[in-house]
Amino acid sequence: MKRSMLAMGLACGMFTVATVHAAPQQDVYDAVEQQRQPLLDTLETLVNIDSGTGYVAGLSEVEALLTERLEALGAEVEAHPAEVYGGNTLVGRLQGNGDRNIMLMIHYDTVFGEGTAKDRPFRVEDGRAYGPGVGDAKGGVAVILHSLEVLKTLGFDDYGQLTVVLNPDEEKGSLGSRDLIQQLSADQDAVLVFEPTFSEGATDAVTVVTKGINYAFLEVKGRASHAGGAPEQGRNAIMELSHQLLQLGDLGDPDKETTLNWTIVEGGSKRNVIPEHAQAEGDMRYVDSSEYERVLNEARDITSNQLIDDTEVKFRLDKGRPPLPANPQTQALAEQAQKIYQELDRELLAAEIGGGTDAAYAYHADSPTPAVLESLGLVGGGYHSDEEYVQLDSVVPRLYLTTRMIMELSDAEAED
């Protein structure tokens, strides 16, 4: 009963503070301020450990650090192997005295290879912190840890259970952790996800809609022959692939915000050999879940029109992350976050992004719970590049926001 009442409250926007610009809750703000430098110290430690997806040695080092920190906060911690790429998904649980179940989630892997941290260690310059994964998403890890420190300082435990989920394979699709995320999220009233902001210009925002991701594969088998002596005996797979790519160029649908972009092309073996094999890979982004079937069926019809006889053409569409669609529960959480930000006299935007995140695995379309909100990590930009950064002036607001969100979501009186 409590879960359905919470869902109704979220959908109606009941879990919000007054619409006027109230002052910050001083005890919360003071406790948050005390965590500013410790958070940056934690962030420096995390950034200076290589933890690219699949680099098990570095992932294990980060895992040990995170386990120690969670246990010091009073959490019971479990490690679940994330098969495919390696590493463990950590699940830490803090028991409270209330009724509400809240999950805090982010990944601790990065896109950067071994040695990157040594070449580009954490540094602070002109109001920004730089380093591999500083925003995506080690900043989010630090926000979770230090928000829990704030709650501990305040002696706040009015939640039912706080569940912290930290996975090691998000940057390659969370193939070894997505089932666990879906399972754990089903028992939550709310899920807060700590990717950094993804809006343009490092705008202070949370994310309310993410697109789904599918992966397109196009393969052509032809016949090899000598390019100079007997080209007519060959069947040029690259030419057929090129023909197919041109035909498939309009599979997107702007009205539905569906895109399909071909991003990798490979073919041929030697300059003097008619290529017998060529392939391409593409990236599909979508909001409407029915687009998978449409694109798959249209592509198969289109590829039946071949330029070169006796070639074999295969199209495949693999499912990746689903979308986090527009929904009233997420919108209500965003409005709640915006009103908390007003306590700091700051504006918080609600953004839609083209990238997919683990928030989509936590969302259950057939249930009003959990309510899911994305991008509660630090504000920054340049993700996945040498210039990735976070803004130092976002540390206190983001810690304050997370702490207040947990406190409000735990408040049983909020629905009255």
Catalytic residue among 109, 195, 240, 388: 109
**The amino acid at 204:** D
* Beta strand spans in 58-125 (E): 76-81, 88-95, 101-107, 123-125
Catalytic residue among 149, 169, 170, 335: 170
Q: φ and ψ at 393, to 5 degrees? A: -75, 0
End-to-end CA distance of the chain: give it in Å, rounded: 15
Catalytic residue status for 170: yes
Handedness of CA 398, 401, 405, 411 (dihedral sign): positive
Distance separating alpha carbons of residues 102 and 185, to the nearest angstrom: 9
266 and 280 Cβ atoms separated by less than 8 Å: yes
Question: Helix 328-342 crosses helix 395-409 at what angle (to 10 degrees)?
Answer: 120
Give the β-pairing of 161-167 and 101-107: parallel
Q: Which residues contact 242 (CB under 8 A, 6 or more apart)?
A: none
Catalytic residue status for 76: no
Distance separating alpha carbons of residues 162 and 189, to the nearest angstrom: 10
Q: Which two tokens stand for residue 347?
A: 């504006």
Tell me the CB-side half-sphere exposure of residue 398, using CA atoms within 13 A. Answer: 35
90 three-state secondary structure: strand
357 and 191 Cβ atoms separated by less than 8 Å: no
Q: Measured at the alpha carbon of residue 261, what is the angle toward residues 257 and 263, in degrees to the nearest 5?
A: 150
Alpha carbon 232 to its chain's center: 50
377 and 197 Cβ atoms separated by less than 8 Å: yes
Catalytically active residues are 109, 170
